[in-house]
Amino acid sequence: MTASAEPVRAHRRARTGAIVQAALPFVLLLLLWQGLVAGLQVSPLVFPSLSAVVRAAGQGLRDGSLFLHLGASLARVAIGTAIALLLAVPLGMAMGVSRAVAAFFTPLLRFFSVLAGIAWIPIATLWFGYGFGAIVFVIFNAVFFVVAYNTLLGVATIPVELRRAAASLGARRWSMVREVLLPGALPNIVTGIRTGLGFAWRALIAAEMIATSTGLGYMLFLARDFYRTEVIVLGMVLVGCTWLALDRLLLAPLERRTIERWGVVRGA
């Protein structure tokens, strides 16, 4: 054993330990579930057995319906988020540059951030009908206000010396945005995206129950009509797992890296 292998091993051991610790409660929950449903002879109309859910998952994988619903949900989130970012970041930047723009929009942003997502569903279905447009609009709303607000926050936290340094090196308005404000605000922007997507994901499931014919939310809601509790529970597990995967494997690492790479180290 070499000396340099030791820290790597210790690191791996710590990682494995963390994974075991995170998984353990779920394993116990599954055992409890299986035990209770079998022991109390719970009717499948009230709550499914673990094995029924696993069978439903197998069925969904074979006929492709799981991929259809999951894919539909993810595509809506991606499109709604993309549109929101394209508009929110420039607005946040404009607010960071101009005090007047910031003063005008800040109260509006605060108000609409509270409405995040779900409250927009009724009006969205009136405007866009029951389908793609309404859901993308709901996602857009969940992400837009949070990201715009965080962009503004990010610009505000850039030390004034950095702006002054850039200005006295000859940076005009556009260079200031591109070279200082955008990179300086990036950690906050990514945090905003992560928070906004959290809202968006919850809002998406709610919206899909009402306003569409595909997606995880729809899958849940449709199963209820047929008393298919195993499909309902499968859908719930998928909603949770998909978000955890998205957050842990994509958003959290992205946020960490942005902060490491772009974060302003305060106090020299």
Partner 1 sequence: MKELLVERLSKIYFDPDRGERIAALEEVSLRIAPGEFVAVVGPSGCGKSTLLNLIAGFLEPTSGRILLDGRPVRGPGPDRGVVFQSYALFPWKTVLENVAFGPRMRGLPKAECHAKAMRYLELVGLAHVAHRYPRELSGGMQQRVGVVRALANEPEILLMDEPFAAVDAQTRMTLQEELARIYEERRPTILFVTHDVNEAVFLADRVLLLSKGRLREEIPVPIARPRRWPRLVEDDDFKALVARTLSAVRAA
- Residues binding partner 1 (CB under 8 A): 159, 161-162, 164-172, 175, 179-180, 183-184, 186, 261-265, 267-268
Min. distance of Cβ 115 from partner 1 in angstroms?
Answer: 33
Min. distance of Cβ 262 from partner 1 in angstroms?
Answer: 5
Which residue from 102, 85, 60, 66 is spatially nearest to 200, judged by alpha carbons? 85
The pair of structure tokens assigned to 105 is: 């929009």
Are the CB atoms for 230 and 48 separated by under 8 Å? Answer: yes
Whole-angstrom distance, CA of residue 121 vs CA of residue 134? 7
Min. distance of Cβ 154 from partner 1 in angstroms?
Answer: 13
Our CB check for partner 1 shows the closer of 62 and 266 to be 266
Concatenate the DSSP letters of all residues of 144-197 into one string.
Answer: HHHHHHHHHHHHHTS-HHHHHHHHHTT--HHHHIIIIIHHHHHHHHHHHHHHHH
Min. distance of Cβ 254 from partner 1 in angstroms?
Answer: 16
Our CB check for partner 1 shows the closer of 37 and 176 to be 176
Are the CB atoms for 215 and 73 separated by under 8 Å? Answer: yes
Our CB check for partner 1 shows the closer of 15 and 164 to be 164
What does residue 213 show for φ and ψ, rounded to 5 degrees?
-130, 15
Are the CB atoms for 116 and 142 separated by under 8 Å? Answer: yes
Amino acid at 108: L
Our CB check for partner 1 shows the closer of 166 and 209 to be 166
Our CB check for partner 1 shows the closer of 87 and 167 to be 167
b/e map of 88-108 (b: 16 or more CB within 10 Å)? Answer: bbebbbbbbeeeeebeebeee
Min. distance of Cβ 89 from partner 1 in angstroms?
Answer: 16
Our CB check for partner 1 shows the closer of 20 and 103 to be 103
Our CB check for partner 1 shows the closer of 162 and 236 to be 162
Min. distance of Cβ 180 from partner 1 in angstroms?
Answer: 7
Min. distance of Cβ 265 from partner 1 in angstroms?
Answer: 5
∠ at Cα 216 (46, 78), nearest 5°? 160
The pair of structure tokens assigned to 216 is: 């995880």
